[in-house]
Amino acid sequence: MKLFNEIYGTYYRIAAEAIEKKRLTDKDIYRIIEEYGTDETRVGISPKLIPGKEPQKPTYWGFFRRGDDGTLESVFENAPKRQLTTLERRWLKAKLSDRRIRLFLSDETLERLGSELEDVQPLYAPDFFRCCDRFSDGDDMSDPEYIKHFRICLKAYKEKRLVYIRYLSGHGNMISMVVLPLKIEYSYKNDKFRIYCRQIGSRKKAKAFPYITVNIGRIVSAEPARNADAVMPAKDEQMVFPEQTETIVVKVTEERNSVERFMLEFASYPKKTVRDAKTRECTVSIECRCADETELLIRLLGFGPTIEILSPPEFREKAAQRVRRQYELFFGSKE
């Protein structure tokens, strides 16, 4: 059972797709290659898939016969089926023990799938992965109400329909609104689902704050909105959640292996790095969502004096204020 196996590969997939069509043209094959492959794939696979002039080159796979009309006909009788492999079945079996599976499958479906995979050994045990620094206030995904809200929001998102939600804001206020879900995001660190929405309606608030994010765990009730289709936003640009970003510039020194630690920790952020050839210090520009600024600030402070926030000045000042406060807590106003 190998994970890195050609049966999952692009070339097998392209060949299967072409064979499945039974009869096709050279152009059809090129189209399939373009869809699934890279620029180099065409060079690698087309002489093997498309018959040339007789006699065929020994590299030609012989999967097609060229007809008098120039089209290609598969030499196979049946459309190629790619059965699920043991690896895939074992992966599915492992997922049955994941508490998040109930967001997607009903108890009855879960039971049937469990019976179907009864003899399958899970790919890994539930305690195989242990996250040491995940936040402990993640969503309760076993709560039937949570599951219900998740499914209603997911359905609305998939069908681009409106949903009426009531939720408890971070400040403890109950808010109700009709929204169009634009994006569903899961954070592994927070263990929370969040939906990015466009608020719909004629009320002042909906117009003033058309885009909002809602943690599914904060939703108190959710239901499909009435006359949903009638109020769908018409323009395409209104369907995309606008993300405001800013660039934070940081100097990273080599002390305590910080370059390696920093680069890995912030690997999930888009960033541009320039290294000074002499000092080997790095100047890193991180693209950060404005909404995540505070989170980024405290993570940067976690690196201590091995990094320095350079800009923007207001962001640097926020770090400086915290450092000054800390200095006073430890040493009084000045040492």
Partner 1 sequence: MAGFKELIGSLEKTRAYFRDFFVYGFKTDEDFSQRSKRTYEDEKRRAELLLKDHITTTKAPDSSFKKIVSVPVDSGDILENPFYGIYFAKSFTDNDIKLHFAILDILSGYESLDTAEITDRVSERFDDLLWDNDNFVGQSTIRGKLNEYADEGLVIAEKHGSKMFYRLAPHTADELFGQFEGLDDAVKFFSETQEFGIVGNFILKAAGLKNDLFYMKHSYIIHTLEDEVLADIAEAIGKKCAVTFEISGSRKNFGGEPKTMKHTAIPFMILVSAQTGRRYLLWYDERLKRFMTSRLDQMKKVRLEKGMAENYDELAAAARRSLEKVFGVNFGSQETRNSSPVKIKIFADEQTEGFIVERIMREKRCGTVERTAENEYTITFDVFDPYELLGWLKTFIGRIISFEGGVQGAADRLQDDIRRMYEMYGGGTE
Q: Within positions 78 to 107, which residues make up the interface with partner 1, using CB under 8 A? A: 78, 80-89, 91-92, 94-95, 98, 100-101, 103-106
Using rule CB under 8 A, residue 53 touches partner 1? no
Using rule CB under 8 A, residue 281 touches partner 1? no
**Count of CB atoms within 10 A of residue 16's CB?**
15
Using rule CB under 8 A, residue 112 touches partner 1? yes
3-state secondary structure (DSSP) of residue 245: strand
Binding-site member from 69, 119, 128, 234 for partner 1 (CB under 8 A)? 128
Look up tokens 């950060």; give the residue: 288
**Long-range pairs, 260-264, Cβ under 8 A, ≥24:** 261/303, 262/303, 262/307
Using rule CB under 8 A, residue 154 touches partner 1? yes
Pick left, alpha or beta for residue 175 (phi over 0 → left; psi -120 to 50 → alpha; otherwise beta). Answer: beta
Q: Which is nearer to partner 1, 204 or 334 (CB)?
A: 334
Using rule CB under 8 A, residue 13 touches partner 1? yes
Q: 224 Cβ partners below 8 Å, 6+ apart?
A: 152, 155, 156, 161, 162, 163, 164
- Contacting partner 1 within 173-202 (CB under 8 A): 183-190, 194
Q: Which is nearer to partner 1, 63 or 211 (CB)?
A: 63
Q: Which is nearer to partner 1, 80 or 224 (CB)?
A: 80
Q: Which is nearer to partner 1, 95 or 206 (CB)?
A: 95
**Minimum CB–partner distance for residue 136 and partner 1 (Å):** 5
Q: Which is nearer to partner 1, 53 or 204 (CB)?
A: 53
**Do 218 and 168 form a contact (C-beta atoms < 8 A)?**
yes
Using rule CB under 8 A, residue 10 touches partner 1? yes
Using rule CB under 8 A, residue 48 touches partner 1? yes
Distance (Å) of CA 66 to CA 15, 26, 63, 139, 231: 16, 10, 10, 58, 54
Using rule CB under 8 A, residue 125 touches partner 1? yes
Q: Which is nearer to partner 1, 116 or 205 (CB)?
A: 116
**Minimum CB–partner distance for residue 204 and partner 1 (Å):** 28
Using rule CB under 8 A, residue 326 touches partner 1? yes
Q: Which is nearer to partner 1, 67 or 305 (CB)?
A: 305
Pairing outcome for strands 64-66 and 23-24: unpaired
Using rule CB under 8 A, residue 290 touches partner 1? no
Binding-site member from 257, 290, 314, 332 for partner 1 (CB under 8 A)? 257
The rounded radius of gyration (Å) of the Cα atoms in the chain is: 28
> What residue type is 279 in one-letter code?
T
User: Which of 130, 133, 134, 105 lies closest to 117 in space, CA to CA?
Assistant: 105
Q: Which is nearer to partner 1, 44 or 201 (CB)?
A: 44
**Minimum CB–partner distance for residue 178 and partner 1 (Å):** 21
Distance (Å) of CA 156 to CA 179, 302, 331: 9, 40, 56
Using rule CB under 8 A, residue 246 touches partner 1? no
Rounded CA separation 221/205 (Å)? 20
Q: 114 Cβ partners below 8 Å, 6+ apart?
A: 96
